[in-house]
Structure 1
């Protein structure tokens, strides 16, 4: 199996504004006879799943998503040689001309996982609304990215060519398309460059009751096309 997950570690990078990750020894073998680590982290730490409830009022929470939706055939779109810092990926750059349909799981390989934890991580490539809408029309329901977000980090208040939401807050067009359609987003995957164009991926989030997302172990099976 190929592990596509970022290890959870004390002080690891999180999306700007999210709770910091801390890990400390709560019990020790020497004193207590058992070792126990105390964790403090947000629901979107490390490699994690965004449930619809993350951005949709009344949307499904992470424990309401069947595991069957999070495992299966995946298509990997290789864009690492075509994107750079802050690159906005348009629909025509996805290489899907003539493609009639996609499997439910689609992974976007930008190679930006190499910057995770560094200053360049926040200036990652991101998808345009039109690109997300194309993926959705072709059948994608689970979007996996190797960046902090499929949207621009430090999002503007309006996506060019589209109206800003009421209230004037930041807009996340890819989240709107995917989570707004009851789909799922997986962020901060790593190692997508090790996969073939088609493979089988499994996504296993913590079953946090009523939560808007959860850290996840994401794996691929190399004997099934990867």
Structure 2
């Protein structure tokens, strides 16, 4: 068994979406002074590798704690979408033949912040009944966030800022997305892994 870490590290250098406050880390106690180490992390729900629940953009959408764990773990595939950018004004035209109902589908863009998926691709993934969508860029779209809304209206969470997806292209594997267990939240940072047998 081989486990691939798909999450970015959380630290003061973790990239944030424009307008989002940067993370802050503070040492509250130290072994030298107090006999133990304790730190305070000030972060948003939209930092680093994180999951967006439908409530992120839909007032009536499911909140993070309402997403079943079964929807966060399962068989997964990575779609190679490297080389495509939003500037090309084209939808990413991936081969979606490998996608099965109930899959977790992750898009490898090469961490290209300009890469976006098209509405036709999103609709095809919805038609195939995927249970979670992920991408290694900050967002699969930009304002007015049509892709977010399409997925959320179909109860499909979105994971952003994944990493190491190139190691899983052309492989079928087990994926697990484990966000912090926050109640009534629009999302949370998460640990994501891919497991190869």
Normalised to the residue count of structure 2, the TM-score between the two structures is: 0.91
- 1:135-173 deviation digits (Å, cap 9, x = unpaired): 111122210100000113xx3xxxxxxxxxxxxxxx101
Offset of 1:90 from its aligned partner?
1.6
Offset of 1:85 from its aligned partner?
6.6
Query: Does residue 1:150 correspond to 2:152, yes or no?
Result: no
- Is the 8 Å Cα contact of residues 91 and 116 (structure 2) preserved in structure 1? no
The aligned residue for residue 131 of structure 2 is 141
In structure 2, relative to structure 1, the CA distance for the partners of 1:56 and 1:191 (3 Å cut) is same
Provide structure 2 residue ranges, at least 5 long, that are not aligned to the other structure. none
- Is the 8 Å Cα contact of residues 11 and 22 (structure 1) preserved in structure 2? no
Query: Does residue 1:90 correspond to 2:63, yes or no?
Result: no
Mapping 1:99-114, distance limit 5 Å:
101-112=100-111
Determine helix, strand or coil for the equivalent of 2:70.
helix
The aligned residue for residue 189 of structure 1 is 162
The aligned residue for residue 216 of structure 1 is 190
Write the distance in 2 (CA, Å) between the matches of 1:139 and 1:195. 21
The aligned residue for residue 178 of structure 1 is 151
Offset of 1:70 from its aligned partner?
0.5
From 46, 52, 65, the counterpart of 2:48: 46
- Is the 8 Å Cα contact of residues 74 and 175 (structure 2) preserved in structure 1? yes
Write the distance in 1 (CA, Å) between the matches of 2:188 and 2:100. 29
- Is the 8 Å Cα contact of residues 3 and 218 (structure 1) preserved in structure 2? yes
Count of residues in correspondence between the two structures? 194
Provide structure 1 residue ranges, at least 5 long, that are not aligned to the other structure. 116-120, 156-170
**RMSD after superposition:** 1.8
In structure 2, relative to structure 1, the CA distance for the partners of 1:195 and 1:31 (3 Å cut) is same
Kindly report structure 1 stretches of 4+ aligned residues shifted beyond 6 Å: none
